[in-house]
Structure 1
């Protein structure tokens, strides 16, 4: 029997008995999910402190509906209840947690919860909730915060990835405008290389869709599947190209490396784009010698249906800024001193943008995907600009060093209850630890979020009527997805946000 997540157990143990710990007569618990601070986020100096909200719709469909139905509601009641009791008894002690509420939930047949959220693809200010959740039946007040663990675990990553992807796109757009490069090229200039370094293949899929909110370049096949299934993605969702790895080059042997290049360029891929890892042995030899010997073969390649016939050289080690832009400490005049872009320019030439920046010949290009960060990407783009090259001369492979080198605390995500009802009387809840700097201070009471000139603004201590207003809309209620966004719609929301940055350049 294969392992699958039991949704009842997708919790921290301490959640199991909060049902009894709440005051007698508790009827409703109302909580929110909020990014509290970007203090630990390693963003660029001009980051405007806004997070891209993304991932809820996929989580609702995959976990709150499919996983709960398949792993609980559609299972034999006696079986699932006995399994739950066994897990609690063996870990917390015999009879430590009763099961009557679990039986009642199974009898109900769905999750009695209501989730309200901002539209996915919104850029949200810190300390503004992206969603709220409340139980819809008084008997199941315990369920609101019972799902905190899985809600937090499944949502913080997608939003964090989508935020970082947007920042890459904003950076690349800024330099495209400065150097006259094609804006249309930006969507493929950030390419997702992260899958192998993520915390499992499902994490790679979810995170990979976060990347796809801003780009179409990706090697994460599962991310495209996820986007199609849960975000009705259509048209051009994600694209990639044929590419080698070091095992391919090694198998061809070092003494025959030139012939491996020639076979790839002339026989296997005589048209279209092919990416060839070029530093298995001597990257500078590949660029300064092999590319000269292969120049005519490269220029003779046939454009495909999209008009593309490019050989992309891929360095995969060393200091990316120095490899691409040149090392001022290297011996003057050497390939290392000149850098990869200058070398290819000297061999293949190219054209100039309207702003006077150089663009490599359309038959050659570069992609770098080793430990790229926002800061390194910016340094490379600055170096290219200083050398007189347009930003479009390089594609960035964005890997797990960016997309997995972060935590829930990157944007301080937390689920907090701010309102409850006991014996028919509402209670405003909040925390404000005296030992904290203020980051952990929560909102209070029922919440409303409104659009403002600077994005979104939170209003707390609201009446029930006020809580029904604003930009938080019901997306899930009583086991049903109520409101859907497509990946295209999410991309459009972010594209509109990007326009304001274009206007400021």
Structure 2
């Protein structure tokens, strides 16, 4: 049995794609398709992730071995295999896919129902190829874009809370930490989703995301973390030695300008705050010159966070900022990493505001809700064909199901413009005139035509947050 290459793009497709080369009308020479988020939970999306896919997969040619492997698998699977078509790509194009891909700049914040990507075959003998790539290309776009969008909306929520209840928005970049690596479906998912989160924040424990941002976007170090305890490193000391476990964390990691996070609910969170941190280790915390970050890890997040802050203020004090909200001293803060979602962040911050507690006191850690509890329907992503060239004539292609108008697709070759009012609009390419098309070629025939840095992506995404 032959070991199959995991990077064989021919097999990176849905099964039924294999039979589609026989299904287009005769004399079809070009097929043009686009990708959009049709709607869903958000009205704005943050486009991100295409460059990773282009570099990792489409910039590598197929080989004779890839064709042979695919032929064996697909025919044994019960489907016809387009051996002549793939051999043509190998012979005429040295194995590089004859496709042109246009895209918006990564990091763009755009309304849903805006074309993000447009793809067309460049060889008239390969009209079938445009749709064949749908499975891999759509997945490469919908997942990182959805994570980046979710993270971006969380950033907006937190920023708005800081603007209402804090003197500054300093520290916003570290207010949502990625705890999602262990809850992701694979290491590659963690890498892609982890990089997507870093578009908006700089706190992460997902090392794979750092590597993806470094490898594909030139980010030398896109995110940061701090020493932090887990339950095993606390409970290993035994319940009677809980204070010693906490003291060990301070001895090992605390100091001027340093942060250390300690999970404090292995047994009794309230006892830990009131007696261990608030009495036995009080002077060690206040005198360290750094910041202790207390982490609750159980219970109802909305009530637990506010109660934790209230109790910490009782033992460590607080000051009232210029907006009338209470703030802990710099030596202590809280991070909530259990039960965190976009909705629970809003609920926690609302409860804090009602109690007169500044958002400056809190940071959040999000795990599965960030990297795993999203799917293609979160933003109703789709890739649809909008135009075909048959015998030299372009024809509109679209779907318009009478049973679901939300699945109505766009017609014709497309362009994206910025209107005089500053809004992005998807129009027909034939209506472009002298207007600038924001869909620009990023890939053609195996070559990545332009690359963007992680810093550029971040700047583009953040300039949209008021």
1:248 matched to 2:229 = no
Instruction: State the partner residue of 2:201.
Output: 215
Secondary structure (helix, strand or coil) at the match of 1:279 reads: coil
Deviations 1:246-272 (A, max 9, x none): 111121111111111011112454451
1:387, 1:266 → 2: CA distance? 34
- Are the counterparts in 2 of residues 181 and 390 from structure 1 also a CA contact under 8 Å? no
1:17 matched to 2:19 = yes
Instruction: State the partner residue of 2:248.
Output: 263
Secondary structure (helix, strand or coil) at the match of 1:159 reads: helix
1:230 matched to 2:255 = no
Aligned runs of 1:327-346 on 2, under 5 Å? 339-346=307-314
Structure 1 residues 177 and 98, CA gap change in structure 2 (3 angstroms): closer
1:451 matched to 2:418 = yes
Aligned runs of 1:151-162 on 2, under 5 Å? 151-162=137-148
Equivalent residues, number: 459
Secondary structure (helix, strand or coil) at the match of 2:20 reads: helix
Aligned runs of 1:95-494 on 2, under 5 Å? 96-107=80-91, 108-109=93-94, 110-234=96-220, 237-271=222-256, 272-291=258-277, 292-302=279-289, 309-325=290-306, 339-436=307-404, 438-452=405-419, 453=421, 455-460=423-428, 462-463=429-430, 469-494=436-461
- Are the counterparts in 1 of residues 263 and 295 from structure 2 also a CA contact under 8 Å? yes
Secondary structure (helix, strand or coil) at the match of 1:409 reads: coil
Instruction: State the partner residue of 1:330.
Output: none
Deviations 1:278-305 (A, max 9, x none): 1111111101110121000111214xxx
- Are the counterparts in 1 of residues 120 and 130 from structure 2 also a CA contact under 8 Å? yes
Instruction: State the partner residue of 1:4.
Output: 6
Secondary structure (helix, strand or coil) at the match of 2:147 reads: helix
1:182, 1:3 → 2: CA distance? 52
Deviations 1:462-505 (A, max 9, x none): 42975995211111111111122111111111221113xxxxxx
Deviations 1:179-207 (A, max 9, x none): 12431211101111111111111101101
Structure 1 residues 494 and 81, CA gap change in structure 2 (3 angstroms): closer
- The runs of 4+ residues in structure 1 deviating greater than 4 Å are 464-469
For normalisation by structure 2, the TM-score amounts to: 0.95
1:299, 1:224 → 2: CA distance? 33
- In the TM superposition, residue 164 of structure 1 has moved relative to its aligned partner by 0.9
2:285, 2:89 → 1: CA distance? 65
Deviations 1:330-381 (A, max 9, x none): xxxxxxxxx1001111111133322121111111111011121122111111
2:18, 2:77 → 1: CA distance? 11
For residue 30 of structure 2, the aligned residue among 28, 35, 46 is 28
2:328, 2:415 → 1: CA distance? 52
Secondary structure (helix, strand or coil) at the match of 1:31 reads: strand
1:98, 1:486 → 2: CA distance? 38
Structure 2, unaligned stretches of length 5 or more?
none
2:115, 2:401 → 1: CA distance? 20
1:151, 1:126 → 2: CA distance? 18
- Are the counterparts in 2 of residues 429 and 445 from structure 1 also a CA contact under 8 Å? yes
Structure 1 residues 3 and 446, CA gap change in structure 2 (3 angstroms): closer
- Are the counterparts in 1 of residues 177 and 366 from structure 2 also a CA contact under 8 Å? yes
Secondary structure (helix, strand or coil) at the match of 1:130 reads: strand
2:234, 2:343 → 1: CA distance? 31
Secondary structure (helix, strand or coil) at the match of 1:408 reads: coil
- In the TM superposition, residue 17 of structure 1 has moved relative to its aligned partner by 1.8
Secondary structure (helix, strand or coil) at the match of 2:239 reads: coil
Structure 1 residues 342 and 476, CA gap change in structure 2 (3 angstroms): same
- Are the counterparts in 2 of residues 448 and 467 from structure 1 also a CA contact under 8 Å? no
Secondary structure (helix, strand or coil) at the match of 2:236 reads: helix
2:456, 2:160 → 1: CA distance? 23
1:441, 1:2 → 2: CA distance? 38
